[in-house]
Amino acid sequence: MTGLLTFAAIVLAISLGLGLVRVFIGPSIEDRMMSVQLVGTTGIGLLLLFGPLLDMPSSVDVALVLSLLAAVSVAALTRRERHPESRTISEPKSDSRIHSAELSD
C-alpha cells in the first residue's frame, strides 16, 4: 500500500511541477489562474497522501483549509470577470472649478 501511495505522490509532484511551469509562462491571466487552481488542488492531494505516509493526521485539516481558500480565489476570479470596471483603481475625480478657472485665464 505504501508503494501505491508513493507512486501517486510522485505523479502528483510531476503534475505540480508542470502546473508551476504553466503559471510562469501562461499567456493570459485566466490561464495562470487555472494553473494556480491546478497547483492548489495537487497540493491538497499531496497533503492528503502524506498524511498516512508520514503519520501526520493534521495534514487533513491543512488540506481542508487550502480547499476553502481555493474556492474563495475562484469566486474572486469570477467576480473580476463579471465586473470588469473593478479591475483598475479609478482615478480621483478632479474639481471642475479648477478646470474652469484655468480656462478663463
Provide the pLDDT for residue 13. Answer: 93
Range of the domain at 27: 2-85
With respect to residue 102, please indicate whether it lies within any of the assigned structural domains: no
Written as nine digits, the cell of 52 is 498516512
* CATH number, residue 63: 1.10.287.3510
Pair 2, 52: CB distance under 8 Å = no
Distance CA 17, CA 8 (A): 14
Distance CA 52, CA 59 (A): 9
Provide the pLDDT for residue 17. Answer: 93
Pair 66, 40: CB distance under 8 Å = yes
Provide the pLDDT for residue 57. Answer: 86
Low-confidence ranges of the chain (pLDDT < 70): 80-105
Provide the pLDDT for residue 72. Answer: 85
With respect to residue 92, please indicate whether it lies within any of the assigned structural domains: no
Written as nine digits, the cell of 24 is 510562469
How many structural domains comprise the chain?
Answer: 1
With respect to residue 22, please indicate whether it lies within any of the assigned structural domains: yes
